[in-house]
Structure 1
Amino acid sequence: MPKTRRCHYPNCHKIVKQPDHYCQLHYEHEAEYLAKRQRWARSHDKQYVHHYNTVTRNRTNDKRMQYNFYRTKQWSRLRRIVLERDHYLCAYCQVQGKLTPARTVDHIVPIEFSPNDKANVSNLAIICGSCHRLKTDWEQSYYGTGQGKRVQHVHAIHDVQAIVVLMNGEN
């Protein structure tokens, strides 16, 4: 029996045989759909992804070593410990009186600024997506972290509550 799928036309539920994507009634959209898929595939080919991961993302050896740390067993173990310790709740939201579930473990003081604290459990906290974006922007301006930036000589801030105040721009 041949494989089948539903017609890709909105609200059309007719069954078509693969490799077609549209039924006989909407078949004129097939060529446009295939062209769109080819354009997408060309812009998302393996060479592009490989170039991004090996050249653009890891421009320096420091960055390469930093990203490689997140692929180690040590990081997996540390991450699990912190997630269980903080009950999968964003530490930065908790300071603001909110309970937000999260699964991302973040370094309170970035690795680029303090490489010796990368495996220190007390330097790790759970963070949600919105807080992570705010904190990353704040880190880049305060510590000078990020691609192509110079790390500044400032005092490290280890207190989550102080970071929340600073990253939200409160006085």
Structure 2
Amino acid sequence: MARQRTPMLCRHRGCNAIHRNSHGYCDAHQQEKAGWMRKPKGSSTERGYGSAWRRLREQILRRDLYLCQVCKREGRLTEATEVDHITNKSEGGTDEPKNLQAICTCCHKSKTAMEAARGRHGSR
């Protein structure tokens, strides 16, 4: 027998409705909050990263000798585990090898965060 959740107040400011939902909102406010909740992005193949991308990724890692190109420009030798679009696809970049580089996870996260901020706040 499934255990009932403890009744709680809705997390929406000023709402005193009681609910048993795991997300913390009553049914009325859950619909309002649905816009910010992450939606599933689909599989890697559905997002354009299928077998052709995996082959290209391996080609780029080999070309760049499995070294992070960002760290290399700064005089450090760091193992690259990822492949990055130099000009990201949302800004017109392509999957052409000249637009791809081997990159370490740390540099990739940092670069992606800067691109996301630029996208949120406009190019500066």
- Say whether the fold is shared (TM-score over 0.5): yes
Question: In the alignment, is the contact (CA less than 8 A) between 1:66 and 1:111 conserved in 2?
Answer: no
Shift of 1:141: 2.3
3-state secondary structure, aligned to 1:76: helix
Shift of 1:153: 6.6
Aligned length: 88
Question: Can you give the 5+ residue segments of structure 2 that lack an aligned partner in the other structure?
Answer: 1-21, 23-37
Q: Percent identity?
A: 35
Write out per-residue CA displacement over residues 83-137 of structure 1, whole angstroms, 9 at most, x where no aligned residue.
Answer: 110000000000100000021011111122226x1x2111101111111121011
Q: Which amino acid letter does the alignment assign opposite residue 69 of structure 1?
A: G
- Alpha-carbon spacing, 1:68–1:126, altered in 2? closer, same or farther (3 Å): same
Instruction: Work out which of the residue numbers 98, 108, 112 in structure 2 matches 1:136.
Output: 112
Question: Can you give the 5+ residue segments of structure 1 that lack an aligned partner in the other structure?
Answer: 1-42, 44-54, 155-171
Number of the residue aligned with 2:81: 103
For 1:125 and 1:139, the matched residues in 2 are separated by: 16
Query: As a proportion of its length, which structure holds more helix?
Result: 1
Question: In the alignment, is the contact (CA less than 8 A) between 2:81 and 2:105 conserved in 1?
Answer: no
TM-score by length of 1: 0.44
Number of the residue aligned with 1:86: 64
Shift of 1:57: 3.8
Quick check: which has more Rg, 1 or 2? 1
Write out per-residue CA displacement over residues 41-86 of structure 1, whole angstroms, 9 at most, x where no aligned residue.
Answer: xx9xxxxxxxxxxx6242xxxx88996211x222012111101100
TM-score by length of 2: 0.59
